[in-house]
Chain A
């Protein structure tokens, strides 16, 4: 069945350093979504990518969707302590109702 893997599982960075998490799907995706879950909280939608090669930015966050629509990345420039949390990608294959979540990357930022 469809699988979505994320790496790394954990990342510890010093405040001000950059951070990237990668998401890889076993099947071609119709779209991919990214969510952030703060410690003790629930996942909150960040963004959705639909087109092959699409790049979107939200302030210090840059999201990319691969040309083959099987991978995606989230890059945070100059991390801040407010970026702490777990970042999930979620992909939907064509002709399916299911949104498959990645395993998540837990980001810790040290001041």
Chain B
């Protein structure tokens, strides 16, 4: 089944404790992206990747890192999480970065930073 998977689905952590949220897609998509969703703010892009070893900042990249060493995986790293990073995170992928491709979203990771 074609899908985007994220782990963990739920995470409660404390300020400053490094964490990684994994994202994997099995559709051989070139383009992958991370979003955070906060009430009233919609979906805001954190980072995106157009292909292996090609990443770029989205609209809210501060406090986050990403890597794209393999086509299927695009982990999101929070080196020193803070409470303002408490949010619902979605990974998404699409065939490529051209305009006419829909994005497939993962199930989401709900992160709470205490």
Interface, chain A (partner B; CB < 8 A): 1, 6, 9, 30-31, 33, 35, 41-45, 48, 50, 88, 90, 92, 97-104
Contact B100–A31 (Cβ < 8 Å): yes
- 21 A-B pairs with C-beta separation under 8 A: A1-B59, A9-B40, A30-B99, A31-B100, A41-B107, A42-B106, A42-B107, A43-B43, A43-B103, A44-B105, A45-B103, A45-B104, A48-B102, A50-B100, A88-B43, A92-B99, A97-B50, A97-B97, A100-B45, A101-B43, A102-B42
Q: How far is the CA of A35 from the CA of B43 in the complex (A)?
A: 11
B90 contacts A by Cβ under 8 Å: yes
Chain B residue, CB-CB nearest to A33:
B102
Contact B41–A103 (Cβ < 8 Å): yes
Asked whether A6 and B42 contact (CB < 8 A) given A42-B107, A43-B90, A97-B50, the answer is: yes
B108 contacts A by Cβ under 8 Å: yes
Count of chain B residues with Cβ under 8 Å from any Cβ of A? 25
Q: Which residues of the other chain, A, contact B35 by a CB distance below 8 angstroms?
A: 101
Contact A31–B103 (Cβ < 8 Å): no
Chain B residue, CB-CB nearest to A1:
B59
Whole-angstrom distance from the CB of A8 to the nearest CB of chain B?
12
Contact A42–B43 (Cβ < 8 Å): no
Whole-angstrom distance from the CB of B47 to the nearest CB of chain A?
11
B62 contacts A by Cβ under 8 Å: no
Whole-angstrom distance from the CB of B107 to the nearest CB of chain A?
5
